[in-house]
Amino acid sequence: MKKLQIIVAMALLAAGTFGATTASADQLVLEGQILGVVSQDQGFSDLSGEAGSGGVGLIAGYRLGAVPEVSVLVSYHLDGMSGQRFGNQVGVDWARHRLLLGGEYGLDFLDGRLRPLARLGVGYSGQKLAMRVDGVEYQDRGHGFAVQAQGGAEVGLTSAQSTSPLSVGANFLMGYLWQTPASFGAMSSTSAPEEPTEEDPWSRATYDAGSLSASGVTWNLGVTLRYRL
Amino acid sequence: MIARKIALAVAGVAVAAACVPESNPGWDAPLEPIGPVMLEDAMVYLKPAFEEIIVVRPEIVDGVGSLHVERHETGQEPSRMVASADGTQLYVLNEGDGSLSVFDIATGGVERRDVVLESAYDRVTVDPEGDFLLLSHSGEMRSNLVVQNLNELGIVDLRGAELEARFLSLPTRAQNLVFAPPFEMDGAEQRLVAALAESEVTLVDLTTDSPIDQWRRVQLTLSQADSVRTPTEVVFDVANPNAVSAFVLTAEDDDVTEVVIQSGALTDSTRKFTVSINQLAAGQTPGRIAMLDLPQGRRLLALDRSSPRFTLMDVVSGESVTHSLPMSVAAQHMIPFYAEVPGEERLEKKVLVYSRNSQLVTIIRPEAIAVGGETPTLGLTVQAIRMSAAPSEIRMDGAGDATRAVALHAGGNDGFTILDLLTNTEIRLQGFSLSDLVFDSTQAYGIFGNSPHMVRVDLASGHPQVFELPARARAIHLSPDRDAVMVRHDGRGGRFTVLPVAEPTPENGTLYEHVFLEGALDRPADQD
């Protein structure tokens, strides 16, 4: 974690020293990405058998022409994992979605073809856990708060001097996702009716599977579309 | 999926930097734990991969069935668990750290005590009195075994607040261990154990501090050249304050060997006990023996294992008499019980004997059998009850009504039978066969292996009441307060239904599923 902070700080310092960004028109930003999270939580390692989850993300943003270093971003990320545990006797499905509001700071180099940047987002994280044994599935949802900080670089495939309003780029960022633990304290049956019926008169008890802290190191690989207004 | 694989590949550096914990190997082991072991107020399971026991207790909350689940850590690599005779303690052998954990599971609580053992024992013998625990070796080879002394016996004293263990090396490996009831000799309470081995029995004294009196070897053969005699059963007679007898049955002999133990002070011996041996005629090929305390004296009952006969022996005079059983095959099992005598204010000792291969169940009245020169008493000595099918098992309520027993039948649709041991009659209940049964005073609760139902049957009238269950059940348990009944269903995740005894209907019951996954994410990290 410390190494990452140092790397990002040095990158920004270099960018501040050598970067050059001039005022320009406003831009709409749209980015699609694949992402991964490597959790440091014991429970996550137990649940998945591995440490990571993978997924996709979508970011929409607005870059002010007057302050071209800064962009405002709204991002939605979806990641998850599936597996068989306990000697293939238990099926596990876990999914997380995050809605973050944040910003990006970056400097343009080489006519906008190289852009070192840093992002920070805060927002909501929701998790869903489902476990299946002998064909009977129980699931629960956990809710929490998330903060994500990343640093990296974007490579523009078109020059900033181009006359086309549309520019395409690719980026790679790494960072850390911190989120509050999700509690799966009311795992309930997905097949049983909410209330007992004549066909199924039995009340089913919920159970507490425990809590999961899926914070960890994140990375994403994205393709960015920028539309100059 | 592809994105996830790329994610994992690229994140190699991140993994190294992020110090990712390894997954607990318990999550790779099968989910279903070992067990259950039935205690007085709970079912207990053992999960070796997580080094824990799971205690499952039924209770009634606001008239509705509820399940209370607790997890408790054991020592390292627990391998087996055994319940105490009174159902209030659980003993767990921990192979990993060579220890024994004793869990005191009183109603509503669990306390654990540990003691270190000097050897990797794999057999536990429980003291019916609850004062001691014996640890021995089965002789089975294990993969992680380097070397061990198979003759070692571990003795754990459970009487104090702290567990104490001591270890003996016997002259031979104990294949079976049998506790003698407590008795008094030389003004002190004595506890003996018979360690059965090929061609010999070793008497182990649990209360002596003298090294030379810790064990006495009793040979069943004159020399090692004789054919091997395998002791199969031992019963003790401690009624005589001057002499204690151990009656040893072997697989090869027609006789029963009586080992008489007397105080060494009687003969000015330097040893605590003196030991002598008698041979008693026990009919032909005796298979099972039992000690009976009758008004006319102590008698030893022996069932013939190859023909439908039994022999009754006077242990004082050594005289015996053999009678036939009204069965076509040899009896395999016997259940001694006390029954009320009509018109008299006393209880009579009787013995129920049966075979899994015969529809006839026999009730023996030993009091009515004359041995030697005794005057015979009036009444039938042997009576039979014919059932519709052979019993797979016969159960009696040891604490309650001793005039009735329930016979379970192995076939899926052979129903079950209530035996009236007072009138020697049977009540046949047609339908599915019971897979498990518990008694509650004048009633019994049973579950069916082939039908998702529970039955409550009045033992006197035989009237059954059938109640619905959410699925077929494997085991049934009644709470100590007799207010809750819990059934375990098939399924690896742990499925239980808890119902109130007063009104065991679906409206008042609760189905618990995935019980073995409760708290799964909160287990501590693997320390290895």
Per-residue model confidence as pLDDT tens digits over B320-347? 999 999 999 999 999 998 888 878 888 8
- The B residues from 433 to 452 touching A (CB cutoff 8 Å) are none
Instruction: Please name the residue of chain A whose CA is at the shortest distance from the CA of residue B525.
Output: A42
* Closest CA relative to residue B249, chosen from B276, B237, B222, B231: B231
Phi, psi of B17 (to 5 degrees): -75, -30
Chain A: nearest CA to B331, how far in angstroms? 42
- List of chain B residues with pLDDT < 50: 13, 16-17, 527-528
Of B2, B28, B521, B527, which to mutate for an interface test with A (greatest number of A Cβ within 10 Å)? Answer: B521
> Which of A52, A184, A205 is opposite residue B512, by nearest beta carbon?
A205
Measured CA to CA, the distance from residue B186 to residue B188 in angstroms comes to: 6
Instruction: Please name the residue of chain B whose CA is at the shortest distance from the CA of residue A54.
Output: B4
Tokens of B261: 């133990």
Q: Does A89 sit within 8 Å of B32, measured CB to CB? A: yes
| Residue A177 contacts residue A186 (beta carbons within 8 Å) | no
Q: Does B27 sit within 8 Å of A86, measured CB to CB? A: yes
CB contact B470 to A (< 8 Å) = yes
- Neighbouring CB atoms inside 10 A of B161's CB total 5
* pLDDT of the residue at B251: 85
* pLDDT of the residue at A18: 47
Measured CA to CA, the distance from residue A123 to residue A119 in angstroms comes to: 13
- CA distance readout (Å), A172 to A24, A34, A63, B160: 24, 10, 19, 67
Q: Cα angle at B34 between B33 and B37, to 5 degrees?
A: 120
Residues of A in contact with B524 (CB under 8 A): 42
* pLDDT of the residue at B271: 86
Residues of B in contact with A136 (CB under 8 A): 491, 493, 513-514
- The B residues from 31 to 60 touching A (CB cutoff 8 Å) are 31-32
Q: Does B522 sit within 8 Å of A210, measured CB to CB? A: yes
* pLDDT of the residue at B236: 94
Residues of A in contact with B468 (CB under 8 A): 201
Of B6, B23, B453, which to mutate for an interface test with A (greatest number of A Cβ within 10 Å)? Answer: B23
Report strand pairing: A203-204 vs B510-512: parallel
Measured CA to CA, the distance from residue B182 to residue B392 in angstroms comes to: 34
CB contact A135 to B (< 8 Å) = no
Instruction: Please name the residue of chain A whose CA is at the shortest distance from the CA of residue B50.
Output: A86
How large is the ipTM?
0.84
* pLDDT of the residue at A9: 54
Chain B: nearest CA to A96, how far in angstroms? 14
> Cα Rg for chain A, rounded, in angstroms?
22
Q: Does A131 sit within 8 Å of B521, measured CB to CB? A: no
| Residue B6 contacts residue A34 (beta carbons within 8 Å) | yes
Q: Which residue do the tokens 């070692």 mark? A: B152
SS3 content of chain B, % helix, strand, coil (to 5): 10, 50, 45
Q: Does A196 sit within 8 Å of B7, measured CB to CB? A: no
The helix/strand/coil state of B496 is strand
Sign of torsion over alpha carbons A174, A180, A181, A182: negative
Measured CA to CA, the distance from residue B460 to residue B482 in angstroms comes to: 19
Measured CA to CA, the distance from residue A136 to residue B448 in angstroms comes to: 22
> Which of B3, B17, B21 is opposite residue A3, by nearest beta carbon?
B17
> Which of B3, B23, B468 is opposite residue A56, by nearest beta carbon?
B3
Q: Does A4 sit within 8 Å of B29, measured CB to CB? A: no
Measured CA to CA, the distance from residue A198 to residue A118 in angstroms comes to: 59
Q: Does A210 sit within 8 Å of B525, measured CB to CB? A: no
Measured CA to CA, the distance from residue B394 to residue B421 in angstroms comes to: 12
* Closest CA relative to residue B443, chosen from B430, B428, B425, B461: B461
CB contact A47 to B (< 8 Å) = yes
Chain B: nearest CA to A19, how far in angstroms? 28
Instruction: Please name the residue of chain B whose CA is at the shortest distance from the CA of residue A182.
Output: B521
CB contact A78 to B (< 8 Å) = no
Per-residue pLDDT of chain A (229 residues; tens, 9 = 90+): 555 555 555 555 554 444 444 557 888 999 999 999 998 888 888 888 877 899 999 999 999 888 888 999 999 999 999 999 999 999 999 999 999 999 999 998 887 789 999 999 999 999 999 999 999 999 999 999 999 999 999 998 876 667 888 989 999 999 999 999 999 999 999 988 888 888 899 999 999 999 988 899 999 999 999 998 8
* pLDDT of the residue at A152: 96
- CA distance readout (Å), B340 to B345, B377, B401: 8, 17, 10
CB contact A187 to B (< 8 Å) = yes
Query: DSSP secondary structure string, B233-266?
Result: EEEEE--STTEEEEEEEESS-SEEEEEEEEEGGG
> Which of A38, A87, A210 is opposite residue B520, by nearest beta carbon?
A210
Instruction: Please name the residue of chain A whose CA is at the shortest distance from the CA of residue B68.
Output: A207
Q: Does B22 sit within 8 Å of A85, measured CB to CB? A: no
Q: Does B525 sit within 8 Å of A202, measured CB to CB? A: no
Measured CA to CA, the distance from residue A176 to residue A39 in angstroms comes to: 10
Residues of B in contact with A42 (CB under 8 A): 21, 24, 524-525
